[in-house]
A and B are shown apart, each in its own frame.
Chain A
Amino acid sequence: MKYLDEYRDGELAQKIAREVHRVTTRPWNIMEVCGGQTHAIVKFGIDELLPKLITLIHGPGCPVCVTPLEIIDQALAIAARPNVIFTSFGDMLRVPGSTTDLLSVKAKGGDVRIVYSPLDAVKLAEQNPAKEVVFFGVGFETTAPATAMAVYQAAHKQLKNFSLLVSHVLVPPAMEALLSSPDCRIQGFLAAGHVCTVMGFEEYFPVAAKYRVPIVVTGFEPLDILQGVLMVVQQLESGRAGVENQYARAVRREGNQPAQKLIREVFRVVPRKWRGVGEIPQSGLGLSEAYTTFDAGKKFGVAEHHVDEPAECISGLVLQGLKKPQECSAFGAKCTPEHPLGATMVSSEGACAAYYRYRRH
């Protein structure tokens, strides 16, 4: 398929991999930030082509994985209400809350629907004026503009029966939180290409300079990832720590400015808990003052619901790159995609799920 097959070319992949072997002289730990990249790495077996000296650490970039337990519990409580149509992206349905998941709420009669765009939820609200339609706004900067547009349109249409349970998170604060941890082993980053299509990559320059860490904005196909790794290793081997853009066919330095404007209009930056990691300051998006009437948490009185994460699962350590999925005693035994204990087993982009699907020997 055009624009995909070119980036999955086996011979070119081997060629870039040989170049990585040639330039690598020392061990390096590189984190791919985005879950989509983790998925591609294990799906295509990209890490098998890399030198043993290079360790890829799977980052916290799966929005499904990092959605905190308490917001999932809030979602479950809202979705179980009789007059509610609860809409969500598909893979949030299987994420376990404290006691159950959205699929089970649906099985018991809750009106839970998968949508492909937040705007479909707005359409549902228009078509069902007697129902409350709630959209579960999850994701990084990539999906935030579409969620913002849904709220913006609902406001313009003066829809009183549409609201948003928002759990959007921001990537750069999470990268900084990881880098400032005393246990940090990360020496270079593949930054999430799709986040950067929206946000650009200006904000990475101070991070790279402060922590002396190379950051390469990277795409999602095998050749993208291999080239991203090569660019990080070239920087590391020559003692540089700059910001580079591998994904130039999609990402501009300044990003998508109309999208950023819309995010600023509808949202404000708030502290946010990350499942498995804990609270990170300035790392989430909440509705701005002008749009608080669309806050589902407040509308349904569930915003004050707080829950602690279960101790059993090591997904926090996996997300931080301190452990590999198979180092968990529950991995593949008590914890599987059908019965996930933690966030990283839930989404197909989660590190544990990716290992379970492609690596369970």
Chain B
Amino acid sequence: MEQNNQFARSCPIPIQQYPHVLLAHGGGGRLMHQLISKMFLASFRNPLLETQHDSTVVEWTGKKLAFTTDSYVVRPLFFPGGDVGSMAVHGTVNDLAMSGARPLYLSAAFIIEEGLPMETLWKIACSMSEAATRCGIQIITGDTKVVDKGKGDGVFVNTAGIGIVEHDRKIAPQNVRPGDAVLVSGDLGRHGMAIMAVREGLQFESAIESDSAPVHDLVLELLKAGIEIHCLRDLTRGGLASALNEIAEAARVRIEIVEKSVPVREDVHAACEMLGLDPLHVACEGRFVAFVAAGDADRALAIMRGHALGAGSAAIGRVAESSAPLVTLKSAIGASRILAMPSGEQLPRIC
């Protein structure tokens, strides 16, 4: 008991504002960052974790390995353009790719809700197997748990991944430099809007399909061509706005984006306008942002556009010196404003 009290004194619950976890704490915005930095970073603190990258690179007997993990809790399990199984493979492969690693092996853990049709699980397993083959990786270990009906949402999938780093570049948020060009690998926001459309029963003229795809091949091509990559970031929850703010914070720079140059497909843009959402806050599952040395920008863009998964790539801005980290956006009518990190979940506006 005394020990518990001591623990309580030296280790107060750091998040005072909300005594309970909200869905917004997992939304990819400021609340999630607060939770991670005050709860998990504070508890597990070490230099490798503090790079806060999509995957962490560790040196092991002269080799460099990238390691990462991610859980997939998407509802519905099957959606236009993908499913929880393929997404669980692509997502973790992409996290490894963000260190410039060649993905090798994945683990797969399933938390299954009692009552889930076997056929559903089989479809997910088949989809994972196909995705793994396509990515050139193997799933080499795993775990299965079943929870009571009502205690899960069909199935939750966790994957962890290991990849090998075969280059000497330092690819991490801290390495972004003033002058760097900012590139994105395709149109934004499709995954988030595909899920929202299915989940909320929104009808558009044609189904918006998720952009879920593995991007490691494209990244390895950039590295092979000798492009001076400073940072890569997977554009998942919180979208481009979250990614840029995280990087500006880590590198202590100002990132300037031109709104007109950010590629957003017309149907995604229309759906966002209708719901009062900002496409720059919406998640992708097969897109990344790349910070490259200015001199390599044109060549990098040409390589990205030449790749099947990067055909819609675009240069969207540049990095500038700044006394405080900041992301700014030049609006459609030419004025400049802050592009903030979203707060928590995206909440549709009233009118």
Q: Which residues of A contact B (CB under 8 A)?
A: 1, 4, 8-10, 13-14, 36, 42-46, 48-49, 63-64, 89-94, 103-104, 106-108, 114, 116, 138-140, 142-143, 194, 222, 337-339, 347-349, 356-361
Contacts and interface: CB of A to CB of B under 8 A. Distances in A.
A49 B335 contact: yes
Interface string B333-345: 1111110100110
Q: Could you tell me the dominant secondary structure of chain A's interface residues?
A: helix
Contact of A337 (B276, B332, B343, B350): B343
B43 interface: no
Contacts of B30: 337-338
Contacts of A93: 347
Nearest to B326: A361
Interface residues of B, number: 34
Given A1-B270, A339-B17, A359 B347 contact: no
Interface stretch (B19-27, B95-103, B211-219): B19-27
A112 to B, nearest CB: 10
28 contacts: A4-B273, A8-B333, A43-B331, A44-B335, A44-B337, A45-B331, A49-B334, A63-B351, A64-B350, A89-B349, A91-B350, A94-B344, A104-B18, A107-B20, A108-B20, A116-B202, A116-B275, A116-B348, A139-B351, A222-B332, A222-B333, A338-B34, A347-B349, A348-B347, A356-B340, A357-B340, A358-B338, A359-B338
B200 interface: yes
A336 to B, nearest CB: 8
Nearest to A223: B333
Given A13-B334, A89-B349, A116-B202, 12 more contacts: A1-B266, A4-B273, A45-B335, A63-B350, A90-B347, A103-B22, A107-B21, A139-B351, A222-B333, A338-B343, A358-B338, A359-B337
Nearest to B331: A44
A94 B347 contact: yes
Contact of B349 (A104, A348, A359): A348
Contacts of B331: 43-45
Nearest to B20: A107
A1 B332 contact: no
B218 to A, nearest CB: 28
Contacts of A356: 340
B39 to A, nearest CB: 15
Contact of B350 (A14, A46, A49, A92): A92
Nearest to A12: B333
A195 to B, nearest CB: 9
B332 A103 contact: no
B337 A45 contact: yes
Contacts of A49: 333-335
Contacts of A103: 22-24, 344
